[in-house]
Amino acid sequence: MTMKRELEGRNVLVVEDEYLLAECLSELLQDQGAVVLGPAGSIESAFSLLSDAQLSEGLRPDAALLDVNVGGVAIDPVADRLAQLNIPFMFTSGYDRSLAPSRHAHAPHCAKPFEPAQLMRSLVALVSPPRT
């Protein structure tokens, strides 16, 4: 993949409750040079990774990948917190895009099953500065 170095040193929060998918995402991101925060398998774990202590220790995410439904709970509170912190995020979900929180309709959505290359392109676009 030609984007290998574009994620070098970027902190990416992964919130995914399916263990194998979380591990695959983590490996994919690490292979691209990203530092994976998590993966968080619950809303509570995600909030722990977004705590003031974690953020002040330099573990602030540059971006986040969020499953729309984590352990039967909607991801809305985590998306809201990321928006408050101005941390870009994208949804990864097997559900229809309409199930993502409407107030975050602007966030990219990558439907499961997804192509790794497409996910990486979307993530790189999320963390790259806009072109002027």
Please compute the mean of the pLDDT values over residues 44-62 and round it to a whole number. Answer: 89
pLDDT at residue 3, as a whole number: 42
**13 in any annotated domain:** yes
The token duo for 14 is 């992964």
Number of domains in the chain: 1
**73 in any annotated domain:** yes
* pLDDT per residue as tens digits for the range 85-129: 999 999 988 766 666 667 888 899 888 888 888 899 999 999 886
**132 in any annotated domain:** no
Using the Cα atoms of residue 127, residue 97, residue 18 and residue 114 in order, give the sign of their dihedral: negative
Question: Domain with 38 in it: what CATH number?
Answer: 3.40.50.2300
Q: 14 is in which domain, residue-wise?
A: 7-127
**72 in any annotated domain:** yes
**2 in any annotated domain:** no
Please compute the mean of the pLDDT values over residues 54-61 and round it to a whole number. Answer: 85
**109 in any annotated domain:** yes
Given a contact cutoff of 8 angstroms between Cβ atoms, the answer to whether 46 and 40 are in contact is yes
* Rounded Cα gap, residues 41 and 31, in angstroms: 21
Q: Cα Rg for the chain, rounded, in angstroms?
A: 14
Q: Over the chain, what is the mean pLDDT?
A: 87
**1 in any annotated domain:** no
Rounded percentage of the chain residues whose pLDDT exceeds 70? 88
C-alpha distance from residue 95 to each of 55, 67, 84, 90 (Å)? 30, 9, 25, 14
Residues of 90-125 as b/e, b for ≥16 C-beta within 10 angstroms?
Answer: bbbbeeeeeebbeebeebbbbeeebeeeebbebbee
**16 in any annotated domain:** yes
The token duo for 9 is 């040193």
